Amino acid sequence: MIHRQAPSGPAQALADALAAEYAAVFAYAPIGVRLTDAARTAARRAEAAHRARRDALVLQLSAAGGPVPADKAGYALPFPVTDAASALRLAVEVEERTAAFWRAALPHTTGADRNRALAALTDCAVRATRWRRTAGVTPVTVAFPGRPD
Amino acid sequence: MVLTCPVARGRTTQHDRAPGHSRRNLLRAGALLTLGGAAAPLTGCDLFDREEPDPAPDPLEPLAAEARELAARHRAALAADPGLAGLLTPIAEAHEAHAAELATLFGRPASASPGGPSAGASAGGDRAATLADLRQAEQRGRESAAKLCAGAPAGRAALLGSIAAARATHVEALK
The reply to whether residue B166 touches residue A117, judged by beta carbons under 8 angstroms, is no
Query: Does residue B141 fall inside a structural domain?
Result: yes
Q: Chain B residue closest to A134 (CA)?
A: B173
Query: Does a structural domain hold residue A103?
Result: yes
Task: Give the pLDDT score at B75.
Answer: 97
Residues B111 and B144 grouped into a single domain: yes
> B85 and B166: one domain?
yes
What are the pLDDT digits (tens) for A66-79?
Answer: 889 999 999 999 99
Q: Is ipTM > 0.90 here?
A: yes
> Rounded to 5 degrees, what are φ and ψ at A142?
-120, 155
Pair (B65, B142) in one structural domain: yes
Has residue A93 been placed in a domain? yes
B86: closest chain A residue by CA: A139
Please tell me the predicted confidence (pLDDT) of residue B11.
38
**Where are the alpha helices (H) located in chain A, listed in sequence order?**
10-33, 37-64, 84-105, 111-135
pLDDT value at residue B17: 44
Number of domains in chain A: 1
How many angstroms away from the CA of B174 is the closest CA of chain A?
Answer: 10
Please check whether residues B121 and B89 belong to one and the same domain: yes
User: Is residue A140 a part of any domain in this protein?
Assistant: no
Q: Do B149 and A133 touch (CB under 8 A)?
A: no
Range of the domain at B81: 61-173
Range of the domain at A52: 10-135
Q: Domain check: are B11 and B80 in the same one?
A: no
Asked if B60 and B155 touch (Cβ cutoff 8 Å), the reply is no
Same-domain pairing of B25 and B66: no
Number of domains in chain B: 2
Consecutive 10-residue averages of pLDDT for chain A (149 residues)? 74 96 98 98 98 97 92 96 98 98 98 97 98 97 94
| In a domain? residue B55 | no
**Helix residue ranges, H only, B36-126:** 44-48, 61-80, 85-106
Q: Provide the pLDDT for residue B55.
A: 74
| A116, A118, A130: best to mutate for the B interface, most B CBs within 10 A | A118
Cα(B43)–Cα(B94) distance, rounded to whole angstroms?
42
| Residues B95 and B144 both lie in one domain | yes
Q: Is residue A145 in some structural domain?
A: no
Specify whether the CB–CB gap between B63 and B163 falls below 8 A.
yes
C-alpha to C-alpha distances, B26 to B3, B21, B40, B70, B72, nearest whole angstrom: 12, 8, 19, 50, 48
Same domain, B69 and B90: yes
User: Nearest Cβ partner of B154 from A107, A118, A121?
Assistant: A107
Find the residue in B nearest to A9 (Cα). Answer: B154
Put simply, the answer to whether A121 touches B157 (Cβ < 8 Å) is no
Per-residue pLDDT of chain B (175 residues; tens, 9 = 90+): 333 333 333 334 344 444 444 444 444 444 444 444 444 444 545 555 556 667 788 999 999 999 999 999 999 999 999 999 999 999 999 999 999 999 999 886 656 555 455 444 445 569 999 999 999 999 999 999 999 999 999 999 999 999 999 999 999 999 9
Same domain, B70 and B138: yes
- The conformation of residue A124, written as its DSSP 8-state character, comes to H
A1 occurs within a structural domain: no
Residues of A in contact with B146 (CB under 8 A): 115, 118, 122
Alpha carbon of B31 to those of A54, A134, A140, B130: distances in Å? 67, 70, 61, 57
Asked whether residue B164 is domain-assigned, the answer is: yes
**Minimum distance, in Å, between the CA of residue B98 and any CA atom of chain A:** 8
Residue B139 lies in a domain: yes
Contacts of B121 (CB under 8 A, 6+ apart): B73, B76, B77, B79, B80
- Residues A126, B168: C-beta atoms closer than 8 Å: yes
What digits encode the pLDDT tens for the residues B11-27? 343 444 444 444 444 44
